[in-house]
Amino acid sequence: MTNLRKFSIGVALATTLLAGSASAETVRFWYHFDNPENPMADLVAKFEAANPGITIEAENVPWNSYYDTLYTSLVGGNAPDAAMVKLFAQPRLVEMGALEPIGDKIDAWPGKTDLLDNLLELNKGPDGQQYYLPIQYVTLYLYYRTDLFEQAGLKPPTTCEEFRDAAIKLTKAPTTYGFGLRGGKGGWDQWGAFVLSQGGELKPGGLTNEKAVAANQWLIDLFQKDKVIPPSAPNDGFQEITGAFKAGTTAMTIHHIGSSNDMVKALGDKVSAVPVPECGGNRWTSYGDESLAVFSASEAKDAAWKWISFLAEGENNVAFNKATGQMTVTKSGSENWNLHERRFVEATVQSLPFAHVLPQTPATSEFVNTAWQTAMQQALTGQITSQQMMEQLEALFAQ
């Protein structure tokens, strides 16, 4: 008898819960944070308190398979309502018809004027519509060990020639190498500083021209001939290059402000940063963008918009960037920016004038995801020549 009564109470409870959730909306949100202690829960709680009736299900999706998972879930009809997205993915997402235009919503949103200048222009879709709302940014710069440079009587390099010279002088193999190159997944943005600065462009004819092939050869030579890059480079990813730099195995590496707090924790004053060197009279660095988007298949678009615009507003955006270690997109947040040491913020801001994004074509995704690393690894290990590597990569952009 008691069991039966418990059961009926349970049923009654379940019915009320179901009825309750029917009127509420749930927004499924995907993001990727490297930082294991992420304060997303606080932001969710703050939002839910301000917007009763909306529940946020925020899910941290591992970065290495983030886009694979996102594309497949979109096709499989199980996509989130909103997600963190990068510019290189936009052409594909637009082609899939997966994105919801949010231009009108942004125009009507009070936070619009607080966004840093030019960001919305930079984020425009390939068809001129606005799908992306910026959330954070970084630029890649050159980390260097101040103490090692001082001991060797060197200044941080401003040109490729100085860079090579410093790298050679700082290399004392096998304990120290001049430069930590990321030859594994995600290393294209380091490569860009040396090759895309010197005439390389991701378009037909843009990679196989003489200058670009020579620039690529120059980088390969740093590894093969000058031996200023650790022999593990072809397989090295983020963990390896930052680990080697923190351990003192490399004297320079290229990454962004997101790793600066960790670097300072390990090296203190012995680490600083400057913009990437000028190569062949030109500079190129990667503008690391991150935006938020609402998906067209979502059934809670308005609630999803409320949530993503909430994250792009003043102090919420600062809290968000505290977790990712990147830079806020708001003017109000930038004013009293104290989440990073000043020298890294300066190197980031100084890099903005020559920071670029990759061209918005569908082939860019494949270049970033698999093609670049496979070709680079083959070239570094001498299986193909610089010319062949560039031909392989250009073939992607031929269609």
Partner 1 sequence: MPYMLLAPAVVVTVFIVFMPMVQAVVTSFYDLILWKPNASRFVGFGNYVKLFADPVFWTALWNTVIWIGLTVPLQMGLGLLTALLLNREFPWRGLARALIIIPWALPSVVIALMWRWIYDPNTGVLNDILIYLSIVQSAVPWLADPNLALYAVIATLTWQGFPFFAVMILAGLQGIPKSQYEAASIDGASSWRQFVHITLPGIAPVLATAGLLRVIWVANSMDVIFVMTGGGPGYATHTLPLYAFVRARQNLDFGYGTAIAVTFTILLGAIVAVYLARTMREVER
Using the contact rule CB under 8 A, the part of the chain among 15-23, 27-35, 45-53, 375-383 near partner 1 is 375-383
Restricting to residues 20-79, which ones interact with partner 1 according to CB under 8 A? 65, 68, 71-72, 75
- Pick 25 or 100: Cβ nearer partner 1: 100
Query: Please, are residues 306 and 292 in contact by the beta-carbon 8 Å criterion?
Result: no
- Pick 39 or 237: Cβ nearer partner 1: 237
Among 33, 34, 39, 96, binds partner 1 (CB under 8 A): 96
What are 31's strand-pairing partners?
A: 60
Nearest to 229 by CA among 185, 186, 178: 178
Q: Which residues contact 68 (CB under 8 A, 6 or more apart)?
A: 369
* Least distance in angstroms from the C-beta of 391 to partner 1: 14
Q: Taking CB under 8 A as the rule, does residue 394 contact partner 1?
A: no
Q: Taking CB under 8 A as the rule, does residue 184 contact partner 1?
A: yes
Q: Would you tell me how many other CB atoms lie within 10 Å of the CB of residue 49?
A: 8
- Local structure of 29: helix, strand or coil: strand
Does 174 sit behind a cis peptide bond, omega within 30 degrees of 0 on the bond before it? yes
Nearest to 28 by CA among 70, 3, 56: 56
* Least distance in angstroms from the C-beta of 342 to partner 1: 30
How far is CA 49 from its chain centroid?
A: 30
Using the contact rule CB under 8 A, the part of the chain among 11-19, 122-130, 334-342, 376-384 near partner 1 is 376-384
- Pick 52 or 77: Cβ nearer partner 1: 77
Q: Taking CB under 8 A as the rule, does residue 380 contact partner 1?
A: yes
Structure tokens at 240: 């390896």
Q: Taking CB under 8 A as the rule, does residue 398 contact partner 1?
A: no
Q: Taking CB under 8 A as the rule, does residue 374 contact partner 1?
A: yes
Which residue pairs from 44-53 have beta carbons closer than 8 angstroms and sit at least 24 positions apart in sequence? Answer: 46/316, 47/306, 47/307, 47/310, 50/310, 51/303, 51/306, 53/23, 53/24, 53/25
Q: Which residues contact 201 (CB under 8 A, 6 or more apart)?
A: 207, 212, 359
- Pick 324 or 365: Cβ nearer partner 1: 365
Using the contact rule CB under 8 A, the part of the chain among 27-35, 304-312, 341-349, 379-387 near partner 1 is 379-387
Phi, psi of 141 (to 5 degrees): -140, 180
Using the contact rule CB under 8 A, the part of the chain among 41-49, 110-118, 127-135, 236-244 near partner 1 is 236-244
- Pick 151 or 383: Cβ nearer partner 1: 383
CA distance 370 to 392: 12
Among 378, 385, 387, 388, binds partner 1 (CB under 8 A): 378
- Pick 114 or 236: Cβ nearer partner 1: 236
By CB under 8 A, name the binding residues for partner 1. 65, 68, 71-72, 75, 92-93, 95-96, 173-174, 183-185, 230-236, 240, 243-244, 247, 249, 362, 365-366, 369-370, 373-375, 377-378, 380-381, 383-384
